[in-house]
Amino acid sequence: MGEQFNSRDDLIRFLTNKVIDMKKKTIELTRIAGGGHIGGALSMMDVVVALYYHVLKIDPKNPRWEERDRFVLSKGHGGIGLCPVLADVGFYPEEAMADFNQLDSPFGIHPDMHKIPGIEMSTGSLGHGLAVCVGMGLAHRLDKGTWRIYCLLGDGECNEGSVWEAAMAAAHFRLGCLVAIVDRNMLSIDGPTEKVMGIEPFAEKWHAFGWHVIEIDGHNMSEILDTFENLPPVTSEQPTVIIARTVKGKGISFMENEPAWHYGGIDSEKEEICMKDLEQARPKGS
């Protein structure tokens, strides 16, 4: 995003602070909106911030720039975490989200590509995003594209058979331009993923489907950056999946690892606790 940093540490400090800022915005937005999918929005935030402030080649002033990297939020319910980030990087003013969830608002729980600048694809129904990215990847080949296509999935979403149809096709079509990221926060609505419908051995599944598999700590900014910066070349013949091990509700004491916080409402009292929890995590000297 054009920010210049004197050192790697400065970059990481900037991004870490940004994660906190965007989590605070997400909490505030959840209060304004009357509720939201807060748990999964918090678990994915480090990866989303790394992408939007450092990795993605995008131009918020020209959202349909042809050479841009594509990002599809397949776990569309995470929109309440993504939308403040899109505002902050300049796709639209923050005030545009003031009527979130209200009648005729462009902003609802699941993001709409025709209403929100910067949204590549309308998502919300799980198991759709990766197939759409496969189609984008095929077009990328025909157009000899230089960009990458990133797709962020939820782990519970990977119960959907259509995810694996798309996974099979991405490897079959050798779509090296495609990078899937799974927000492996271990919880779906009804409880632990392994109890509701187990997906382990998860890395082995992707590997067996022909993907290059990377497992990381999805809350370690240094590791996240190293991973994105060292992806196989866009011309490679194998799609990459990054399994980001995360904590649902990350950063909020009463939300972490609590299935009940898949979706919830925030009143001003809870908001105060959230803001305090988040500030405590801010790097010293910030």
Partner 1 sequence: MGTGFTYTVYDITKLSQAETYGKTLVELARQNPNIVVLSADLAKSTKVVDFAEEFPDRFFNFGVAEQNLLGAAAGLALSGKIPFASTFGVFASMRAGEQLRTDIAYTNLNVRIVATHSGLSFGQAGTTHHCTEDIAITRSMANMTVIVPADSIETSKVVQASIDHQGPIYIRIGRGFEPPVYLDENYDYKIGKAVTMREGTDITVIACGVAVQSAYEAAEEAEDEGVSVRVVNMHTVKPIDREAIGSACSETKHIITAEEHNIIGGLGGAVAEVMAEIGTGVKLTRLGLCDCYSVIGYPEELYGRYGLDTDGILNTILDVKEQL
Using CB under 8 A, list all residues that contact partner 1: 113-114, 120-122, 124-125, 127-128, 130-143, 161-162, 165-166, 168-169, 172-173
CB of 42 to partner 1, least distance (A): 26
Tell which residue, 54, 35, 44, has the closest CA to residue 154. 44
CB of 121 to partner 1, least distance (A): 6
CB of 65 to partner 1, least distance (A): 13
Bridge partners of residue 225, in order along the sequence: none
CB of 69 to partner 1, least distance (A): 13
Report the residue number, 42 or 133, with the smaller CB distance to partner 1.
133
Two tokens, residue 276:
């305090």
Q: How far is CA 108 from CA 22, 70, 96, 130, 268, in A?
A: 18, 21, 12, 22, 21
Edge to edge, the sheet with strand 178-184 lists 70-73, 149-154, 178-184, 240-245, 212-217
Report the residue number, 135 or 201, with the smaller CB distance to partner 1.
135
CB of 169 to partner 1, least distance (A): 5
The 8 Å CB, 24+ separation contacts for 275-284 are 275/24, 275/27, 277/251, 277/252, 277/253, 278/20, 278/23, 278/24, 278/27, 278/251, 278/252, 279/20, 281/20, 281/251, 282/16, 282/17, 282/20, 283/13, 283/16, 283/17
Give the 3-state secondary structure percentages of the chain, helix then strand then coil, rounded to 5. Answer: 45, 10, 45
Report the residue number, 63 or 84, with the smaller CB distance to partner 1.
63
Cβ contacts of 198 within 8 Å, gap of 6 or more: none
CB of 73 to partner 1, least distance (A): 14
Report the residue number, 135 or 191, with the smaller CB distance to partner 1.
135
Report the residue number, 168 or 225, with the smaller CB distance to partner 1.
168
CB of 72 to partner 1, least distance (A): 9
Report the residue number, 73 or 136, with the smaller CB distance to partner 1.
136
Report the residue number, 72 or 242, with the smaller CB distance to partner 1.
72
